Structures are given as structure tokens and as C-alpha cells.
A and B are shown apart, each in its own frame.
Chain A
Amino acid sequence: MAVPKLQQLANSVVQGPSLATGAIPTRDWMDIPVAFKAGNYAYPAKKEKVEYLNSQSGLSFPNAREWSPEDEDWKLPAGWQDIILRGLKERLEKFRSLKIFMDCCVRCGACADKCHFFLGTGDPKNMPVLRAELLRSVYRNDFTLAGKILGRMAGAREMTVGVLKEWFMYSYQCTECRRCSVFCPYGIDTAEVTMMIRELLHLVGVGINWILEPVSNSNRTGNHMGLQPHTFKNNVEFLVDDVENLTGVRPNVSFNRKGAEVLFITPSADVFAEPGLYTAMGYLILFEAIGLDYTWSTYASEGGNFGLFTSNETMKKLNAKMYAEAKRLGVKYIIGGECGHMWRVVHQYMDTMNGPADFLEVPKSPITGTVFSNAASTKMVHISEFTADLIKHGKLKLDKSRNSHLKATFHDSCNPARAMGLMDEPRYILDHVVDWVEMPENTIREQTFCCGSGTGLNTDEIMELRMRSGLPRANAVKYVHDKHGVNMLSCVCAIDRATLTSLMNYWNPDVGVCGISELVGNALVLEGETRGELDEGLRTLL
């Protein structure tokens, strides 16, 4: 799908028929049906992927088939309405959040212009409140007295194919970034609503391939990219070679090694493609510098978890590998690499789903002796927490001037910021390794804007949508680029490293994207290194 030229899209965002810029639709939103056309939807999941997942214990992915959102007939199973309504009832009984969020909204509209999808598309149904109303209207119709009596007058409507199609459209135009939940006076979290809608859609076989293929890869090979063990090892060893070429020091690595002190898990994207590769090189250099006794795993070779974007059962199944592997290898604790949604899963779900990890020890830095009591139960430490602690104790020899080719800014990834509270650790690291500035205050920390392509929406067929929804982030970067000459957007998220790169190439072609650990790797002075002048740090081509 061709993406419009920059100027076209720029004009369209400002002047197009958009509620965000002043155009008021004349028809009630319930009367506007969705229209699928190439470019506005992500491709549906391939039949064989759905079949594979459905065959796995603990998972249910019925109704595998060939279908297209553009078709009139989505080949839904017989009695699909019942399936959806029973699914909704079950979820209302399982999740207090869903009940509260269905009942408490007063439609004050505070969330409306907080959503990057709304700002970029101007589509009223991308206002978080209306996205939730898509589900709430059905909830009212079948589960509330007022809705049963007053029907549409009370904002209720029946579950129809049209509604289902609307759910599909708009639950995949939400990245579960939770920015709206910061502003909601009742803390209503659209991520919860989107997660529920996506779970309901899977009950009738409606899902997208960009999520379910990585999920099935991760289940089978251990990572989203589908890297088999030898390939995974090869990829890391290529990076070891690169580090050796650049610095003269060959980092020591091991795979699936029993008895290591630490298991290190990062998103597989970090060993798969630029610019994540440089972040992975940063990890290698850091661990080499401190002589950490650690191992990679090919079985648990994925930090990320696209199950989070699918269903709680899928999330649990994929996540369970981390503890299973930590137990098998007999490590003391786990360090996790830079990744956004991975850390939402680790911080808010892992221990509950797959704990207690009583076979592990409370993480303690072997270098500084710091006990990470904030991870006392999950026994998993974020690489930024680990690194910041090393810097604080003066255990790293850092030469900031090695990043003098960069003027950086920092993008808070949605999940570490709003589902974890990891904000100042990366900033502390940045202070010590690079010259950097903050973006405007309404676009950082808990108010940070999503890259626009999270929750498995980083697929190319919806590129225009991604460039629109990423606009608020890109715009804030442009501001510091114009004002301070920023040329590097740093972040602690693997999806960001991929998606922000596309976003910058489109809106701000002079700005690159990197992980924090890449900047650490650039600045870190290794013992015995023979590093020459590297004009572009770890990215220098020799």
C-alpha cells in the first residue's frame, strides 16, 4: 500500500475531514458503518497459524479459515453472537476492571484528544471514549436494565456483524498505550477494553497475522522472529565479531549454559535487525566490561510477548518460558533487556501468572552488591535499573565524548512509563553517556506518546495509519530537532527501535533511533580495548 507523500499527509492531517480539527460528522456514530479497504486494516491471520495455535495445550483459536476484512461475509461460526455474548459475560465475571470501566464512564471527553490515533486520523471512533462505547453499547443492551428498557435511547445496541466489524477496525487502531488512562478521572484504561475486544474477536476466529504469526513462532522456536537455536546463536556471534572488530575485545557469550548466575532475556528483534543490533552490542560490551556470569537462552529467546496483544491465556503460555528456563538452567535471577510491552508483562503479569519464582534468589548485583528489592518477588531486573546502579557506584568507565557526534532526546515507551514507572533510570544513564535534551513536557514521562505502531500494529500494510498515529511523537521530536539540533531519538523498547525508525524516516529524516544500551556501549571504555576513533560509535563501518 503506497504511503502518501509527506506534504500530502501533512495537509490531510490539518485540513482533512477530522473531528480533531473541527469537522463535525452529521450522522450519529452508530449510523456510520466501517468500510475496509486496502491500507486501513492489517491482514487477517493465516489459516495454518491459527490452526497451529489452536492445537497447543491451554490455547483456543477456533474457526481457522481464509477470509478477508474486505469481504461481506467473514465466515463467522454458527451462533457467533452467542459466543461473543457468553464471552463478554465470562469476562465481566473475571475482570473487575471491565465491569467498572463499562459502568463508570460519564463521557466527560477528557480522554478524547489524548489519543495519538485520534490526533492523527481525526476519526471520532478513535477517541478512547468512543472506542470503549463500541463495546459498552453492546454491554448496555444485554447486561444493564436501562439498556434493556430504553435501548438506543440509553446508548444500547444489538450485537450485529456491523458492530463486530467495527470492533475489529478500532481494536486494531489502539496500541494499548494507556495514555488516556492517565487523564481519565476514574482511571478508565482503554487498553483493558481493547484487550477484551481482541479476546472476544479471537473467540470467533478474527485476528491479525502480524500478531498471531509471531505468537506461533514464539511458541515453537522461542522467539517472534522464528529464529531457530543455531540461527539465534549465529546472530549473537555475528555481533560478538562486530564488537571485536570495533573495540579489539571479544565479548564472552554462552547459550543455554547451566549454572550461570544470570539469565539474560531481550526481545529477539535486538539480534535480528538494525538498529536493535547496536543495542544488543551494547549489552555485550556492558556485560563484558563487568565480567558478568550470564547466559543467553535459545529456548527463552524472546523478551517480548505478543500474547499480551492476543489473550491473557496466550500471554501466560509464552511468558511461562522465562521461569521454566531460569529453573532448568539453575540461574539465580533474570536480567531483561530494553523492551516496552515485555516489561508490562514482567512487571504486572509474570509473577501472578507464572510465579512464585521461589527457585530464584532476590536479584543482587554481583558488582555493586545492590539488592533489587523492588524485584524481590519476580526476580527480574530491568537492564536500565542494573546499568544505572553500576554507574552510580562508579563501576563503569564512561567516556561521554565518544557520543559527541550525537545530540539525543529520550522517548519514554508507553509501558515502562505508564505500567511500571520506569522513567528516571534511563535518564540517569543518559546523563552519564550523552548530551541530550527533553522533548516538550506534555509528550514525555507519563504523558508520553506512543510510537503509533505498538500492540502488533507494526506491519507495513497499514503504513499510512502508522505515520498518522505516530505523528504526535514525531512532531515532538521535530520540535527538539529544530530547536536543539537533536539527531538521535533514544528509547528503551525494541518495537520502538523498529517503528520509530520508519516514523523518523518519514517525518524527520535527519533523526536516527537507538537504544539506551547502544549509547552505553559507545561510551564504555573496556579494559584492553584497541578502539580507534569511531565516528559513529558502534555503527561505524570499518
Chain B
Amino acid sequence: MKYAFSFLAVIALILIAWLGSQIPGMPYLFGVALPYLAMIIFLGGCVYKVVQWAKSPVPFPIQTTCGQGKSLDFIKHNRLEAPSTNGEVVARMFLEVVTFRSLFRNTKSEIHEGPYITYESSKWLWCFALIFHYSFFSIVVRHLRLFLDPVPAWIGWWEFVDGLFEVGAPTWYISDVGLVVGCLLLFSRRLITRHVRYISLANDYFPLVLIFAVAVTGILMRFFLRTDIDIVNIKQLTVGLVTLSPVIGAKIGSIFFIHVFLVCVLIAYFPFSKLMHFAGVFLSPTRNLRNDSRAVRHINPWNPKILPHSYAGYEDEFREFMVNADIPVEKELTPSKDE
């Protein structure tokens, strides 16, 4: 049901863009107004979200140590997994963000007769995630060509590497295939892996279907539906968007508007969804704190003033027992009246 809803939603979005862009005058809505609106929502939303997160303090150092902490000289410190300096934290975060180090650790457990529980390395999720995210990233980078004039040379080199296999004409990019395959793998995993299927929400299927549709419409536009897809014309519009002087010259094919509309929906949806994990990972206190909390005091800005049950109160309650047991006391017993 939840995934079916996601498909229906994306199909509806495609229809809206397809039919909508046919109406005279509407290309300006789909090609100019909505991209601006989506971008404003995206930037504003992301900034708002990050500021909201940052407004809450990190009261306690709750780092998760995944290796030996720094202690005695002869105990080998695991500098990446229990970092004690800012540099080591940066290295830990870098590997987390760039290589998905925590996912790399993933294991799959099975319960057998006996019972015997076994754990074996399971790198599928890590592998799927890498394919998906790096393809997505590469595609975003390549799209910069459309917004920059002149195009920086390094984007050309990037495209060269991405299209290294030189299959087809125009050349298929590895990242195009990667994104489509990545979406399919992650989506299938949600359906097939029983516990993941049970926890998946519509919010989990929808972005995958949406990104899949973005990728497919992009590929269709590049390779198959070339009617009225004039790159010079499109670049005039996209550069115009960046320079705040957008114009739609000649007619542009519907597939372009569908693609752009889906992208607009994606980036407008971004700040309000789980996709914000791309920013949240940097702020995660279990990963981005130094494990030096006994060496350097961490400050809690709202540290409440709470005093312990006082020693004086304790001694008052137990003084007699303490004196009888030869435990030192601050105040001696007061002799009772009849003595």
C-alpha cells in the first residue's frame, strides 16, 4: 500500500507537469516560477532545519566509542573510532560521510537450531548506498554545466571520468545507470528484507520513487525523447535562472518540464523529510564529539542546580550507628538529658 501510494503520487506529479506544460504560458510556471520557489523552499528549509537543530545544545558528551580510547601510553589508542582531538574527530566524520564507515560494519545475524546465533558480514546495504549516493552526487556535479557559463574545465574532466566506458552515443554516464540501479536496489531491499519492509513508511518509498522518476526522465530526455530538446535553448533558460534573467526562447519538449518539475518537488520536499540526514549526520553527537570527557570538562548550558542529599543530613540520621561502629563523624553525639 505504502509503496503503491508513492507510485501514484509520482505518476500524478508527472501528469501535472506533462499536461500543465502544454497550456500556453505555463512553461513559465514550470520552467521559471516553480524552480525559483522550490529553490527558496530548499535553501530556506535547510537553513531553518539546521538552525533549529543547532539551537538545541549538546548538554552531555555522549560519544559512542567504537574502539579503544586514549588512556595509558602502552595501550594502543584507536584514533579513528575513539577520537580524542578535533583532528581525529574530523577524520572519523570524514570517513563516516565519505565511505559510510558505520554501514560497512554491518552484520547479518541468524538464529539456528540449538539455539546458535551466527553473525556474518553483510555489505549489501553499504554497497547499495554507495552506488546510490555517489551516482546522485556525480549527477548533481555534472548538472553544474547547465548553470555555469563558461563551463569550468574540471566539470569536463568529471564528465570524462563518469563516461569513461564510452558506451553509446551520446555516451552513457556510469552515474546515470548507477542512480537508476541504486534506486531499484534500495527499493527492492525495502520490499524483500522482511524487517525493513515492516518498518518502511510511505516517506521511505516516496523519495526513492521520485528520484527514480527524475533519473528516468533525465535519461529519456538525453537519449530517447529528443523532440524540442535543444541544449542551447535549455542552457539559455538555466543560465538565465542563475543570473536572475530567465527567458524561454524556442519551444521546449514536455519531457524537460516533467524532469524539472520532479526535481522541484524533490528539493522542496527535502527539508521536511528524512532526506535531511545529509546535514544531520554532521551534527550527530555520538559521532562528532571527542572522547576526552574525563580530560576536558564539557559544559552544559542549562545545568540545573541540584545538590546531593547532604552529608550533614546523612550523618544526622545515622550518627548513633556511626559512632557505635567507630566511623568518624563531624559532630559528636549529644549526651541525652538523663545522663
A residues with CB within 8 A of B: 10, 13-14, 18-22, 24-25, 29, 56-59, 92-100, 103-110, 112-114, 119, 124, 127, 129-130, 133, 144-146, 150, 153-155, 178, 181-189, 192, 219-222, 228-230, 233-234, 255-258, 298-299, 312-313, 316-321, 324-325, 328, 346-349, 351-353, 355-356, 370, 372-378, 380, 385, 388-389, 392, 417-425, 428, 440, 442-443, 445-447, 471-472, 475
Query: A349 contacts B284, CB within 8 Å?
Result: no
The 5 closest A-B pairs by CB, nearest first: A421-B69, A58-B306, A421-B65, A104-B280, A230-B325
Most chain A Cβ neighbours within 10 Å, of B60, B296, B321: B60
Chain B residues closer than 8 Å to A424, beta-carbon distance: 68, 75-76
Q: Does B62 contact A (CB under 8 A)?
A: yes
Q: What are 22 sample pairs from A and B whose C-beta atoms fall under 8 A apart?
A: A29-B198, A93-B56, A95-B57, A96-B56, A100-B285, A104-B276, A106-B277, A109-B193, A130-B198, A186-B277, A186-B280, A186-B287, A221-B314, A229-B318, A313-B304, A346-B294, A349-B60, A370-B72, A376-B296, A422-B71, A423-B69, A471-B117
Query: B59 contacts A94, CB within 8 Å?
Result: yes
Query: B299 contacts A256, CB within 8 Å?
Result: no
Known contacts A187-B287, A352-B59, A422-B68; can you find 13 more A-B pairs with CB under 8 A?
Answer: A19-B195, A24-B198, A106-B204, A113-B109, A114-B109, A184-B102, A189-B286, A221-B314, A233-B327, A312-B59, A351-B297, A352-B299, A472-B109
Query: A94 contacts B57, CB within 8 Å?
Result: yes
Report whether over half of chain A's contact residues are helix, strand or loop; otherwise say mixed. Answer: helix
Query: A154 contacts B202, CB within 8 Å?
Result: yes
Residues 226 to 278 of chain B near chain A (Cβ within 8 Å):
272-274, 276-277
Query: B304 contacts A316, CB within 8 Å?
Result: yes
Query: A181 contacts B286, CB within 8 Å?
Result: yes
B residues with CB within 8 A of A: 5, 49, 52-72, 74-76, 78, 81-82, 96, 100, 102-103, 105-109, 111-117, 119, 125, 129, 193-204, 272-274, 276-277, 280-281, 283-287, 291-300, 302-311, 314-315, 317-318, 321-322, 324-325, 327-328
Query: A299 contacts B195, CB within 8 Å?
Result: no
Query: A377 contacts B296, CB within 8 Å?
Result: yes
Report whether over half of chain B's contact residues are helix, strand or loop; otherwise say mixed. Answer: loop
Query: A420 contacts B69, CB within 8 Å?
Result: yes
A97 in contact with B49 given A29-B198, A233-B327, A316-B304 (CB within 8 Å)? no
**Complex Cα distance A127/B194, Å?**
12
A181 CB to closest chain B CB, in angstroms?
5
Chain B residues closer than 8 Å to A93, beta-carbon distance: 55-56
Chain A residues closer than 8 Å to B327, beta-carbon distance: 229-230, 233, 255-256, 298
Query: A14 contacts B114, CB within 8 Å?
Result: yes
Chain B residues closer than 8 Å to A385, beta-carbon distance: 71-72
A58 in contact with B305 given A113-B109, A446-B66 (CB within 8 Å)? yes
**Complex Cα distance A446/B291, Å?**
14
Partner of B62, one of A97, A317, A321: A97
